[in-house]
Structure 1
Amino acid sequence: MSAGGGTKAIIAALMANLGIAVTKFIAFALTASSSMLAEAIHSVADSGNQALLLVGGRRARRAATPQHPFGYGRERYIYAFIVSIVLFSVGGLFALYEAYHKYHEQQELGPHGIESWHWVPVTVLVLAIIMESFSFHTAIKESNAIRGKATWKQFIRRAKAPELPVVLLEDLGALVGLVLALLGVTMTLITGNGYWDAAGTAAIGLLLVVIAVILAIETKSLLLGEGAGPEEVQKIEQAITDGPEVSRIIHMKTLHLGPEELLVAVKVAVEPYERAEDLARDINAIEARIRTAVPIARSIYLEPDIYRAPAIVPTGG
């Protein structure tokens, strides 16, 4: 995975979530808090998701084959989409189920709070917030290196490498979820009423479902196939028309075969050539300019043509 894939951010998030998951499971075992269980499962899901992103990055580096002539760059999109499914089902739906179960337990047995080890969940959640903040800071730092002048919303929506947006949203969701869990647990300890714990768990579940849906929508767009961004399109057009070979671009299409691989297909208008050798030389020169301007443009197909202006159909007077 390239640096743009945010390997450092993924590993930082993985290490943080593994450590946090263990402490949360211990806290749940001691207190039977549903918020702690929901958060523990959330951390397990996040850890699995980071492992999936690493696997996707590794598999995407495989060389092209006759069956897959453009390589496996899109595997990164597939694994990012799987992450959204895991976050939705394992994280969000489980938390909502646990909230439902906790709510009915309070109805059947009467409102009751955390009966032992009262200090454990608060301590664990505060430590988890600190560890998750370090992970989130790493993701922000890695993202800022490639984000440029784009806003965070634009970065999430336009990034062709899916790993950093995924880690950013996961870490943001984790921090907000931890705050919700801390609020639910604290209110349960203060009031002795487990309904607060159930409410905190439900809020965590809804948060994870929303984040999972956002990830699924953005990753689906990448899976369907996105073209180059406006800046890259402008650079490619400039590279084509900078030389004397082309009189105009008739039409152009681009497609991301992966985060760092772009396919460019262009029909260009040229003057009539007497020798095919001269035409081939000029086409190669245009391709070289495109690759210099946009290094990720690795598959380039140029079709020369003679431009004919559309005939003007006279209108009746």
Structure 2
Amino acid sequence: MAEKTGHFRDNIVLFGALAANIGIAIAKFVAAAIGGSSAMATEGVHSLVDSGNQLLLLYGQKQGRRPPDAAHPFGYGRELYFWAFVVAILIFAGGAGISIYEGLAHIRNPHPISDPTLSFVVLGIGFLMEGASWAIAAREFNAARAGQSWWQAVRRSKDPPGFIVLFEDSAALIGLVIAALGIWASGHFEDPRIDGAASVLIGLVLAAVAVVLARESKGLLIGEAADPTLIAALRAVMEANPDITWVNHVRTVHTGPDFVFVAASADFADDLPMGKAETLIEDIEAQMRALSPRITSIYIRPEKREQASF
């Protein structure tokens, strides 16, 4: 029970966004069916896609926690990065693509909105629920960014669900405002094509978000280094040892949000006995692991300075 409670607390951003999006999607589709708003139907698709995205991220987190085995000796942490990339594709195809298509279809064959009042009520409720989800995501992300700017924190984050939900909720809030303005302007100017144009604009917002998320997820999937501060600390551990004459390189890669692989090369003193070298490497590894609980695997290679490969 305690493990399940901890799991829920760790994923409160995803669970909160999932609950909000499912409820909002149902309300939006009902309002779209009654009122006939293209922008409202687009928003319903948007919330439905977001709900599926949260389920995929939760699945990716579960799969990424599987322990290492013979086929995957460094674990399955990067599976989360794969599903994060899939989410970005779904936002682009399922969210942006359908929204733009729906908007263009409405512009070609416009029809007036029969009941805008219901749409405004649903949009208002949706804004409150999305706002609550956004506040949770922003609070959690802000607590983890450690003095970095928001954009720096996104670029350096190795945990996609946090910034994906933040981007999704931000796009959702922008989309709700656009939908409301589109519905109002469509009735005010008696031009139902404006409602379709709002759908196209929502689609463009989603496309922009999808491109940013795909770019970040791709970098994580290929393999990104650990935080520069941690790398500098790892190098300092080796440079501080008198039996190491030169540190060739310290390379790191995230094999998951909470898993870091370290590979280092150093020139050891020529008169260092083999037995002492083994003890020295063990001591260095212990000091490195003490720097961060995320360090799961360490490989230190004794190598002459002039022979080191970079």
Where do 1:215-234 residues align within 5 Å?
A: 215-234=213-232
Is the CA contact 2:262–2:298 (under 8 Å) kept in the aligned structure 1?
A: yes
Q: Deviations over 1:63-116 (max 9, x none)?
A: 11111111100011001000001101110000000011101102xxxxx4212x
Residues 28 and 309 from structure 1, CA distance in 2 versus in 1: closer, same or farther, beyond 3 angstroms? closer
2:75 matched residue in structure 1? 71
Is the CA contact 1:240–1:290 (under 8 Å) kept in the aligned structure 2?
A: no
Is the CA contact 1:272–1:306 (under 8 Å) kept in the aligned structure 2?
A: no
1:19 matched residue in structure 2? 23
Is the CA contact 1:33–1:114 (under 8 Å) kept in the aligned structure 2?
A: yes
Shift of 1:186: 1.1
1:288 matched residue in structure 2? 286
Quick one: distance in 2 between partners of 1:113 and 1:134?
32
Structure 1 residue matching 2:158: 3-state secondary structure: coil
Where do 1:1-317 residues align within 5 Å?
A: 7-106=11-110, 112-115=111-114, 117-273=115-271, 275-307=273-305
Shift of 1:276: 2.0
Is the CA contact 1:270–1:307 (under 8 Å) kept in the aligned structure 2?
A: no
Q: Percent identity at matched positions?
A: 37
Q: Aligned AA for 2:17?
A: A
Is the CA contact 2:252–2:261 (under 8 Å) kept in the aligned structure 1?
A: yes
1:313 matched residue in structure 2? none
Scaled by the length of structure 1, what TM-score is found? Answer: 0.91
**Structure of higher CA gyration radius:** 1
Quick one: distance in 2 between partners of 1:143 and 1:60?
20
Runs of 4+ aligned residues of structure 1 deviating over 6 Å after TM superposition are none
Is the CA contact 2:234–2:250 (under 8 Å) kept in the aligned structure 1?
A: no
Shift of 1:306: 4.0
Aligned length: 303
Shift of 1:277: 1.7
Q: Aligned AA for 2:107?
A: Y
Q: Deviations over 1:235-263 (max 9, x none)?
A: 11112223333222012221111111111
Quick one: distance in 2 between partners of 1:133 and 1:122?
16
Shift of 1:273: 4.3
Q: CA RMSD in A?
A: 1.9
Deviates more, 1:49-58 or 1:291-300: 291-300
Q: Aligned AA for 1:246?
A: I
Residues 250 and 45 from structure 1, CA distance in 2 versus in 1: closer, same or farther, beyond 3 angstroms? same
Quick one: distance in 2 between partners of 1:67 and 1:309?
32
Deviates more, 1:269-278 or 1:127-136: 269-278
Quick one: distance in 2 between partners of 1:305 and 1:189?
74
Scaled by the length of structure 2, what TM-score is found? Answer: 0.93
Q: Aligned AA for 2:113?
A: I
Quick one: distance in 2 between partners of 1:257 and 1:93?
32
Q: Aligned AA for 1:125?
A: L
> Structure 2: which 5+ runs fail to align?
none
Q: Aligned AA for 1:220?
A: K
Shift of 1:6: 5.6
> Structure 1: which 5+ runs fail to align?
107-111, 311-317
Quick one: distance in 1 between partners of 2:57 and 2:86?
9
Shift of 1:155: 1.3
Quick one: distance in 2 between partners of 1:307 and 1:118?
73
